[in-house]
Structure 1
Amino acid sequence: MAEAAPPITRQVTKEARGASVGPSVDIRLEDVEDCSLWDRHGASVPLKDLYRDRKSVMIFVRNFLCYSCKEYVEDLSKIPKEVLEDADIRLVVIGQSAHHHIEPFCSLTGYPYEIYVDPERRIYQKLGMKREEIFTDSAHPSPHVKSGMFMGQMKSIWRAMTSPVFDFQGDLHQQGGAIIVGPGAQVHFSHFDTNRLDHMPINWLLQLAGVQQTLDFSSKPKIIHV
């Protein structure tokens, strides 16, 4: 039997969406598979447990006070459970705060699915996710971010000032990304954000993961069969 070809992992830029696929990104899951994540109760789990048996869509966010991350996760929360179940995929959000910030963030966003934190940013760093922000004239605004930058930053600062523990719930300079992986260590897709608005559209991620429907995030989630 012929030897299976290794998976091709690619970075898709906003300019390339709808056209060709961008340059390859070297994702070495063996470097991070044993890194620990923490759930809302403070229990640890190795990263590999999140994709060992099922395909997993993993969203790495900047920090839990970031307005764009909040609004992106609010739209993730609108994905119907049956859409994920029918495609047999896990949806996982990973942040970089202390674990005790998870519960308030889920209450704020209404996010009902799996969520973990990497407070030392080991996975972010080992995978090569970017720090600092790069904005380009050709970048398209995220369809999931409704607030303007000025008002969004004011909301983030206000939430920091009024939270029981005054901190920014993660490194303010760390950018996030999205990875589709599994079952096992097969990486199907990756995207590393260049700035706070550089999220992969959720419908793109779901379709790349095998979802056959398109969701409407403009108001209440409704499924458009295509």
Structure 2
Amino acid sequence: MASSDAPSDAPSPTSLPTAAELSEALKIEVYDREGKTHALGDLVRGKRSVLIFTRHFWCLNCQAYLRCISESIPPSDLPPSTQILAIGCGSYQPIDTYAAKSASAYPIYTDPSLRLHKIFGFKYNLAEAKAGDEPRDYMRDAGSTVSRIWGGIKGAVANIQHVNQVGPKALNGGEVIISADGKCEYTYRMQNTVDHTNISELARLIGVEAKALDHSEEAKQPCGDACAVEAK
């Protein structure tokens, strides 16, 4: 079961990790969907790597983010030797269900030890965006807070076997970009539960043009078609 120790000194939203912190992070092993472990350094070696650190596996906000990234920045559009990896904070068992519900085109790993989230200084809170804040682009069609909470409850009930495996409910994530030569280029730490880097900004950082998001009614559903996808 995942630990819930919060980092003591939260860094600023965009401060980069030190060389020592990054070196430590690259040694940490993450789990894939089959429960096999891989050192983070092995996964990112020789490739410019965009790491998407998510909240718990029942978080519809992060599911929406991965879905929108997969649609707006598909793997076929990535520059050479560039990859996107998602990293959760629970056990590996929910990964297949999470991948299906988020329609993720990218590999999903997880660090139930929470060491990566701690090293990178991701915050603990359950805050929503403040009134008047410009919504993140991936949240514009995600529905109201109430509808998302209700969708989360329904998703939890449908996958109750994972109740102790999804990760801490109050731990947020963020984005980290590591260059092909192993240096940290970019860090963003979510300040609330709906605060991933805008997809338009992420695309700019990657060096691609984001495709227009699907604003159809079907796409506005909490899981879209992905809810009907049977986990492999």
| TM-score range relative to shorter protein | 0.7 to 0.9
Q: Report the Cα offset of residue 24 of structure 1.
A: 3.4
Distance 1:98 1:67 in 2: 17
Residue of structure 2 equivalent to 1:208: 205
5 Å-filtered alignment, 1:111-122, equals 111-122=104-115
5+ residue gaps, structure 1: 1-9, 13-22, 221-226
Q: Is the 8 A contact 1:57 1:90 kept in 2?
A: yes
Structure 1 outlier segments of 4+, above 2 Å: 23-28, 133-140
- Paired residues, what number? 199
Residue of structure 2 equivalent to 1:5: none
Query: For 1:50-88, what per-residue CA distance to the aligned partner results, in whole angstroms no more than 9, with x for missing partners?
Result: 32101001100011111111111111221322201x343
Q: Is the 8 A contact 2:137 2:199 kept in 1?
A: no
Residue of structure 2 equivalent to 1:72: 65
* Equivalent of residue 24 in structure 1, options 9, 15, 26: 15
* Equivalent of residue 171 in structure 1, options 168, 175, 190: 168
Q: Report the Cα offset of residue 216 of structure 1.
A: 1.0
Residue of structure 2 equivalent to 1:4: none
5 Å-filtered alignment, 1:103-142, equals 103-134=96-127, 135-137=129-131, 139-142=133-136
Structure 1: which amino acid aligns with 2:153?
I
Distance 1:178 1:119 in 2: 18
Task: Single out whichever of 162-171 and 189-198 deviates more from structure 2.
Answer: 162-171
The TM-score normalised by the length of structure 2 is 0.78
Distance 1:11 1:90 in 2: 26
Using the aligned pairs only, state the percent identity.
24
Q: Is the 8 A contact 1:87 1:210 kept in 2?
A: no
Q: Give the direction of change, closer, same or farther, for the CA distance of 1:214–1:110 in structure 2 (3 Å limit).
A: closer
Distance 1:186 1:194 in 2: 24
Q: Give the direction of change, closer, same or farther, for the CA distance of 1:166–1:58 in structure 2 (3 Å limit).
A: closer
- What is the RMSD of the two structures over their aligned residues, measured on CA atoms? 2.1
Structure 2: which amino acid aligns with 1:216?
A
1:199 partnered with 2:196: yes
Distance 1:185 1:49 in 2: 11
Q: Report the Cα offset of residue 11 of structure 1.
A: 6.6
1:188 partnered with 2:193: no
Residue of structure 1 equivalent to 2:76: 82
Distance 1:176 1:35 in 2: 17
Distance 1:126 1:80 in 2: 29
5+ residue gaps, structure 2: 1-10, 217-232
1:53 partnered with 2:46: yes
Q: Give the direction of change, closer, same or farther, for the CA distance of 1:45–1:88 in structure 2 (3 Å limit).
A: same
Task: Single out whichever of 201-210 and 90-99 deviates more from structure 2.
Answer: 201-210
Q: Is the 8 A contact 2:90 2:167 kept in 1?
A: yes
> Higher helix share goes to which structure?
2
